[in-house]
Each structure stands twice: as structure tokens, then as C-alpha cells.
A and B are shown apart, each in its own frame.
Chain A
């Protein structure tokens, strides 16, 4: 059975939501949204998800091929202000794509280089990262694992709180912060290394551990037994195809590589 790297990553990312139960899952970007949708259709039917606009859905919308919101499975109105009510309650898990991640799990989507007053590259702005990171579970989706993303020092602009003892607010501990998984084009990681160090837990088929180390700007922990990232099942691939009938997922990673190296 053939599958693409994008599909492998979607399946790996969807597993982040397996044990969440009735939380609002938000995948920002096409592949993360597919991952959350796949989890809702398979391992976590209790999950809650919005239409990315203003309604909660009982069943996820496809990410391509929709020409109208007519007939979608609305469950309740969920305007943006109400999203915050849910976010701040903690019952949410966001899967987001940061531009930078540092060794503390702090992330950046705001700006790169230069000074804060005049950055070399203005990115999105902090958006909802500060509130998300201190309120609920977060996982990261990184399409291109490199030292440009996994930076040596701290992020240029720290948009989300991580496991940095120097930035820990008074009265807080690491137990108040919940960073779950990092899914990249090379591997899956978590933050369960010593002292919340980022840790490799599985490698994608054909990827050597050395390649992960070489493309990460800081020291990584490695799980006692590093498995191969599970490959997609036929059922998962069928659901992904149903959720993305126009195959937009093929355009998300450069050259749409296969899921198994040299396959």
C-alpha cells in the first residue's frame, strides 16, 4: 500500500488527540485540520470541532471540495468570543504550526530577525498563542524539520509559554504547562525527556536518528525504544481521501514525497 509523507504525518498527528475525550480540537492549517478531523472520525468520536468560522460541528467538514456551508452538521453556534470562553476553561487541544520552536518548547509566529521594533520579517503576530499555551494542551506540526525551525537559542519572539525555568511565572510549575507532541516530516517527539526536554519517540520509515539530530539546533532526548512511526491503515487513508477529495494535501509538502523513503 502506498501513501504519502503528508498522509503519514496526518495519521501521526491525529494520534495526539486519541485520549482527549470531549475537548475542542483545533488544527490550524490544512494538514493539522485533516489530522484533527481524522481523529474525530476514528479514535476520538467525542471530540468537538468547529467549521473554522462560527459553528461547532458534529462531524468534520471536508477540507476541500466544499462550495457552501449549507447542510453542514451544526451542533451549536461558536462565535470567536465564545471560543475564548472554551479556550480559557482549558478544555481544548490545539495543533499548530509554529515558525520557530526552541528547546523549551517556546514557539514563535510573530516576527523574525532584526529588532522587535523593526523586525527583519514580520510574520503573523502572536495571535492566540499566549492564551492557548497557558490554558490548554498544544501540539506542534512542522512540515520541514530544520535548524531554522528548531533553533539553537530562544525563539526571536516568544509567543507561547514553554518549559523555560527562567520564564516560569511566579506561582507556576511545569505541571501547569501541557505541550504534547511535535510531528515533523522526520519524526514524532514529545517533551517527556529529563526535565521536560524534547524527546524523539518515533522515526518515520527510512529516517535515521542522526538526521533528526543534525536538523535540530539543540540537544534532543531519545526515548528508550524509538519505534517506527506507524504507517497509515487503509481505513485511515480512505477517510483522509473522503475528507480531502480534491487532494489539497498533495500540495502541502514540497514535491509531495512518499511516506516511505526510497519507496
Chain B
């Protein structure tokens, strides 16, 4: 079975009004090349579920988002993602703001076919009072009330992996896979971009096999996209691009999405990568130290 397709072909699975989950964390291992392909499409009214960074910011700035389900949207070294901040402060998007861990529970509920997972997280806070769609439930086993974190059923998940084979076996070689496995499991369709495509025998090494966090039947499409996480990191291959994020922030502040897209987006990933200095520049970005 060969699941390798072009970015455009993969992203054509996404339709207006869908709920999409995006893997990675803030400025780390985000499937930005796939997000850029989405920015080039005419899809809109998306509900986005993510541990957000510029993926969420750009989609909001481009007017493609109806609702964001989030706990934060941050670039870490820049605590506030500039485009998301603009969208939020202008009231342009609906939100369901939840705790970081609640998002994990929602993805797990979806993956496990459960309508919700009970948790105490959110009790006593505005996560509950500001979200009319988060219900409180009784437990049959105690006298306490519980938050019923609903399943976050995704139509499509976008994930960036270090390596994949053509059958969709994915290796994440960076120190953490974040919640990417749960995004893959919670979704009907999972599109993975990978820095490298490898032969299946690559996974025969037990050390490599331990870095495979979901089964290949959770991967629908694979897109070969070296440098495809840029400007986020794909540790150990490259770090995140502080300089580009700063330029992005400045362009968003001055001229919004149009200013950034006319400077960088281009009509293909090759155009984009050329605009940010080329593949070699991406691959020489230093790894962050915390």
C-alpha cells in the first residue's frame, strides 16, 4: 500500500466547515507545510483543535476559522501569538477555551468512541461558566459533580513526523511526540507530512520502532515534505526559526495576513522555502535549549 501523495492532493480532503486537529505544540513540530497548503485553498469555516502556534494564528488571520478549541496559542519565546491575539481581540472567532489536559481527554474520548470523559478539571473556573457546551454530570459512585469533557471528534488531523514509510508508519525522533498519537487516533482522516521518506526496513531497528506512537492504520495520507515544519522545529533535524517568527509577527502587526502571504506564502511549498532562505537554511537552524 502506498499512501504518498502531494500536499495539494492530501489537503483536498479538507472541506469547509470541517473540524481539524493540528499536532505539535506552540512552535514545535507543527505541520506548517500542510497548513500553508490549506492557506492556498478556498476552504473556510473550520473548527480548529490544537496546542496552538502560528498554525492557528495563520488560519485565523486568513479568515479560514469559525471556531478555535484551545488552551493556549503561543510561540513560547513570544508568549502571545500575534495573529491569534488580533483575531481574538477583534471578536472575529468563536472559542472554546479549555485546559491543556482537557484537550487530551477530549481526543482520547474521541479515539475510544466514548462521548465524554469525566474529570474534575475546570471545576470552579470560567472554563465551565464560559462554555455552555461543557456539561457537568453526577457520578454514580460519589456525591461530587464532574466535568464531562466531550469527545473532540476530528474530521482531519494534520501531523508532522520526522520520518515515514509509504505505508504510513511514522517515526517521531524529537524528544516528545506531544499528543500527536491522540490527534491521529481521534480523527477520521490523518494526513502526515514527513521530513524524510524511508524504506520500511528502517523500522526494523527496535530503537526506531519505539519511536512509532500510532499504528499505520491511523495514517491516511503521507506527504514528503523536507523542512515542512518550518518555521516550527523538527528536532533533531532543525530548530524553530526565531528570525522568521519575528518577521511574521511584524508583518501581521503592520499589514495582517496579506502582508505576510505576499512576502512568503507563494504558490507552492518550494516557493515558500525559497522565500525563507531555502532548504539548507532551514536544516541549519539550531535546536532550542530550554
Contact = CB atoms under 8 A, between A and B. Distances in A.
Given A68-B289, A120-B89, A170-B143, A126 B71 contact: yes
Contacts of B97: 110, 125-126
B176 A79 contact: yes
Interface string B45-72: 0000000000000000000000000111
B178 A79 contact: yes
Contacts of A138: none
B120 interface: yes
B4 interface: no
B130 interface: yes
Interface stretch (A5-13, A156-164, A253-261): A156-164
Interface string A121-132: 111111111110
Interface in B258-287: none
Interface in A99-127: 106, 110-111, 114-127
A124 B85 CA distance: 9
Interface in A23-82: 51-55, 61, 66-69, 77, 79-81
A130 B179 contact: no
B63 to A, nearest CB: 16
Given A119-B88, A125-B71, A130-B123, 19 more contacts: A77-B175, A79-B177, A79-B178, A81-B104, A110-B126, A117-B91, A125-B97, A126-B98, A127-B71, A128-B71, A129-B125, A131-B121, A134-B122, A134-B123, A158-B125, A167-B124, A169-B123, A172-B124, A172-B144
Interface of A: 51-55, 61, 66-69, 77, 79-81, 84, 87-88, 106, 110-111, 114-131, 133-135, 157-162, 164, 167-172, 177
Interface of B: 25, 70-74, 79-80, 84-85, 88-91, 97-102, 104, 120-127, 129-130, 136, 142-145, 175-179, 182, 289-290
29 contacts: A53-B290, A54-B176, A68-B289, A79-B175, A79-B178, A80-B176, A84-B104, A87-B101, A106-B125, A114-B89, A116-B126, A118-B89, A119-B89, A121-B89, A122-B84, A123-B80, A124-B74, A125-B70, A125-B71, A125-B74, A126-B125, A128-B71, A130-B99, A130-B121, A133-B125, A158-B125, A159-B127, A169-B123, A169-B124
